[in-house]
Amino acid sequence: MNENNNFMKLFKTVNKIREEKYEDFITEELLFDLLKIENDNFEIDTDMSSKEIIQLLDKYFEKKALL
Amino acid sequence: MLKIKKVTIKGFGPYIDQAISFPEKRGVNIIWGDNGFGKTTFINALKFGFYQELPKKEDKDKSILDVVNMQNKKVNDYNISVIIDFSINDDNYSLTRYAKPKYKDSIPEGYNDFDIDFQLQKNGALLSKNDGKISLERAMPENTSRFFIFDGELLEEYNKLAEESQFTYKLKDSIEQILGVPILTKGKRHVNEYNKIVSNKLLQLSKKQNEDSKNYKKWEEKTNELKERENERFSIEKDRIKFQQEYDKIYDEIKKGPSGTKIKEYENLERELSTVKTKIGMKKLDIKNTINDSWRGLTYQRLILYKNEAVSFINSYKNKIKKHDTYIKNVDMYQISVHKRNCEICSKSLNNIDVEQMEKKIDELKLQIPTITDDEKREYDKFNNVVTIISEKLERFKPEQTRLEGLSNDLEGFELDEYVIQEKMKDIQRSIEDFSKQREENVILEDQKKKALDNLSNATSSLKDLDKNISEIKEQMKRLESLIKEQIDDTKLVVYKEKEMILSQLHSLLEEGTEVFRNQLKTRVQSDAEKLFLKFSNQKDFTGLRINHNYGLDIVHSSGEIVPVKSSGFSHIVSLCLIGALHKNAPVKGPVFIDSPSGRLDQIHKNNLVNILTDISDQVVLLLYNGELDEQMIRKNLGSDLTAEFELIHENDNAFKTIIIER
């Protein structure tokens, strides 16, 4: 997803739902980073994004002292 | 945005060594060429370059030999290559795809006698095979290629594809990929994968603590039971495959006999019946949804009344403002006249008496200026909003009776088709049975077929029961797992429980996000396709397009009714509008190459087609046969948007050697 406009539209859509229902569990930063990883790898189906998502979530849990 | 800068084709079709460079500027490029001069081959060369795709032939193995240049073949030169230079934003790429014979001293006879490979350079540096593959897939995803490079003649197939169940998934999937939905669906999958790891870890830790518990023992029993059932399933599945093969063999044998033609007829009818049944199901669903929405029709008249009231208030408010402004203007004019002692209307100079009269007039006028209160201003804004909202939504509130009648008629038609097909099938079934009774070997074959079918049905039914049982066991295990997890109190386990909870929340968020985003996309695609359609279509009664859940498009009539797209010309128009709307909303923007774009369009729509080309993509390349579109009309309508024109000609009338010249 190369054009930022479309990515931002997608992010804003999901972030609105996050703000309404999931604010206590998911931060805006986590959601943005996760979607950005999928965005950068979206045209292809490789393990790359899967690995990056695991790293991202590990980091998130570390911050929340859940590791 | 991906832009193609240059295409070089060597040894492919009638192109011995030809290159074509497209201008950087946004616009439309045209390649003119009569039949047999290499327009379709040009499209095929692009598909070979990007996807290693060769024209579809019955004998796939020979398809590569068919594209080798005939003149080169005579001198045993079987090398082909396509070089595509393109840019994505600020990066320049050069893709070379080639096929060369594997063995120097022998003539290749099929696909396997060629080495086919590619190289991709990014900004002058050669990428590794893997990076090249990834970059290429990112640049031009193969399963969305039908929206970038296509034959205009096939456009009318799009809407048909969206209706046929077996293609729907593929088409919907490609469209959703072009629109970027996989960002969310893949995100969801990856979060789920991670959640599974956490969940298993949690279960392992829990088990250690609960080894003596009742639930854990039950869980172990269920695990063993599951293993047994799965082994059983594996063995029955093996039998089922064997029975299926036996049945197919006997059936093939029967088909070779005298009843073969009838069997083929029966199979065709079976396929037809399945399509009709799908249509009936969809129509029923449509009727159900229409009935569900029919309450809206009850408020239609009320909404019109409310809209009229609002419009009447708006008009009277506007008149008041107009009156107010006129009075103010007149007062100003009199005041200026008094100040200058010169009449602003007749330019006459004013004496004291005139001035006195004018001042009196000013006071009178000031008293007559209508007052506009803040409340009125607020009311005006409110009613303006009301009119906008009602006008936008009114169409949806139209009584659905006419639409329902149309749907019921369609349904009746399909049900009649279903009945007719079923009756025909019964007749054919009877004649097949008669055939089989006529000769002893037929009777034997029929008997074998019956036995094989019985075995197959038994195996299939056992598998169905087992699958049900397996899914019940899995469900029970899941319940036990959550009970086991609940009984834990260790800090480490609490951490895992919290992780599991966050991940499941994240999964739910992405799931909801996907649905909302999908709906937004559909609205945007529908709206953009509609804008193009209104510019394209010459039928004044057609006021819009409506998208369905499979991304098929229907035409909306001014009466609000949905008009099924039956004409080939309109299928063509609607599909082009869909492609344009997809490009507008797609994250991966790219060029559009269309071979023979005018299809079955009439003259007026051909002209309109030219006018919407620049709305479809920033880089459009049309491959036209001479006379397909009026050259003067194209040049006039496109003006400076026509960036380049090329022509395909045969050098010295040699059909095996096409050269590309710029006009």
How many CA atoms lie within 13 Å of B182's alpha carbon, on the beta-carbon side? 26
List C-alpha distances in Å: B21 to B39, B84, B339, B423.
Answer: 16, 10, 72, 61
Alpha carbon B33 to chain centroid distance? 30
Question: Does position B603 have pLDDT exceeding 80, yes or no?
Answer: yes
Distance from C-alpha of B583 to C-alpha of B248, rounded to nearest angstrom: 45
Q: How many CB pairs under 8 A join A and B?
A: 109
Question: Does position B286 have pLDDT exceeding 60, yes or no?
Answer: yes
Mutation choice for B interface testing from A16, A26, A27, A38 by most B CBs within 10 A = A38
Per residue in B227-268, pLDDT (tens digit) is 999 999 999 999 999 998 888 888 888 877 777 888 888 888
Contact B505 A49 (CB under 8 A): no
Please state which CATH class domain B1-140+591-663 belongs to.
Answer: alpha beta
pLDDT band at B7 (very low <50, low <70, confident <90, very high): very high
List C-alpha distances in Å: B606 to B34, B278, B557, B625, B633.
Answer: 18, 35, 22, 14, 10
A56 and chain B in contact, CB less than 8 A:
no
Show which residues on chain B lie within 8 Å of chain A, measured between beta carbons: 1, 88-89, 134, 137-138, 141, 177, 180, 182-184, 186-187, 190-191, 193-194, 495, 498-499, 501-503, 505-506, 508-510, 512-513, 516-517, 520, 585-589
Residues in chain B within 8 Å Cβ distance of A17: 509, 512-513, 516
Distance from C-alpha of B576 to C-alpha of B592, rounded to nearest angstrom: 11
Mutation choice for B interface testing from A6, A43, A61 by most B CBs within 10 A = A43
Q: How far is B114 from chain A (nearest CA, A)?
A: 27
Question: Does position B488 have pLDDT exceeding 80, yes or no?
Answer: no
pLDDT band at B211 (very low <50, low <70, confident <90, very high): low
CB B9 within 8 A of CB B623: no
pLDDT winner (highest mean) among B419-433, B534-548, B597-611:
B419-433
What single-letter DSSP state applies at residue A22?
A: I
Question: Does position B169 have pLDDT exceeding 60, yes or no?
Answer: no
Question: Does position B185 have pLDDT exceeding 50, yes or no?
Answer: yes
* Pairwise pLDDT comparison (B80 vs B289), residue with the higher score: B80
Mean pLDDT for the stretch of residues B347-364: 89
Which of B495, B506, B587 shows the shortest C-beta gap to A6? B587
Residues in chain A within 8 Å Cβ distance of B516: 13-14, 17
Strand partners, B83: B8, B96
What single-letter DSSP state applies at residue B631?
A: H
Closest CA to B536 of B594, B603, B612, B597: B612
pLDDT band at B467 (very low <50, low <70, confident <90, very high): very high
pLDDT of residue B125: 94
Structural domain boundaries of chain B?
1-140+591-663, 222-291+410-482, 297-397
Distance from C-alpha of B566 to C-alpha of B168, rounded to nearest angstrom: 18
pLDDT of residue B557: 81
Question: Does position A1 have pLDDT exceeding 60, yes or no?
Answer: no
Neighbouring CB atoms inside 10 A of B65's CB total: 19
Question: Does position B15 have pLDDT exceeding 60, yes or no?
Answer: yes
List C-alpha distances in Å: B602 to B1, B243, B570, B625.
Answer: 32, 55, 10, 16
Q: Which of B57-61, B136-140, B404-408 has the lowest mean pLDDT?
A: B57-61
Q: Which amino acid is at A43?
A: E
Question: Helix crossing, B401-438 with B260-292: angle to 10°?
Answer: 160
Closest CA to B240 of B466, B525, B485: B466
pLDDT band at B16 (very low <50, low <70, confident <90, very high): very high
Instruction: For B496-512, give one letter per residue: b (16+ CB within 10 A) or e.
Output: bbebbebbbbbbbbbeb
Average per-residue pLDDT in chain B? 86
Per residue in A22-65, pLDDT (tens digit) is 998 899 999 999 999 988 876 665 566 788 888 899 899 888 76
Structural domain boundaries of chain A?
4-63
Question: Does position B131 have pLDDT exceeding 80, yes or no?
Answer: yes
Q: What is the ipTM of this complex?
A: 0.93
pLDDT of residue B165: 47
- Tokens at residue B73, please? 């073949």
Per residue in B291-342, pLDDT (tens digit) is 877 777 778 888 888 889 999 999 999 999 999 999 999 999 899 999 888 8
Query: Can you give B432-459 as a three-state secondary structure string?
Result: HHHHHHHCHHHHHHHHHHHHHHHHHHHH
Residues in chain A within 8 Å Cβ distance of B507: none
Residues in chain B within 8 Å Cβ distance of A32: none
Mean pLDDT for the stretch of residues B194-206: 84
Strands B619-624 and B542-547, bridge-based pairing:
unpaired
Mutation choice for A interface testing from B86, B145, B190 by most A CBs within 10 A = B190
Distance from C-alpha of B621 to C-alpha of B643, rounded to nearest angstrom: 10
Question: Does position B596 have pLDDT exceeding 50, yes or no?
Answer: yes
Residue B169, judged by CB atoms within 10 A of its CB (0-12, 13-18, 19+), counts as exposed
- Tokens at residue B553, please? 């498009």
Question: Does position B272 have pLDDT exceeding 50, yes or no?
Answer: yes
* Pairwise pLDDT comparison (B602 vs B488), residue with the higher score: B602
- In which order are the strands placed within the sheet that holds B542-547? B542-547, B553-557, B562-563
Question: Does position A3 have pLDDT exceeding 50, yes or no?
Answer: no
pLDDT band at B516 (very low <50, low <70, confident <90, very high): very high
Contact B498 A57 (CB under 8 A): no
Per residue in B35-46, pLDDT (tens digit) is 889 999 999 999
Question: Does position B566 have pLDDT exceeding 50, yes or no?
Answer: yes
Residues in chain B within 8 Å Cβ distance of A5: none
Mean pLDDT for the stretch of residues B112-134: 92
Mean pLDDT for the stretch of residues B474-481: 89
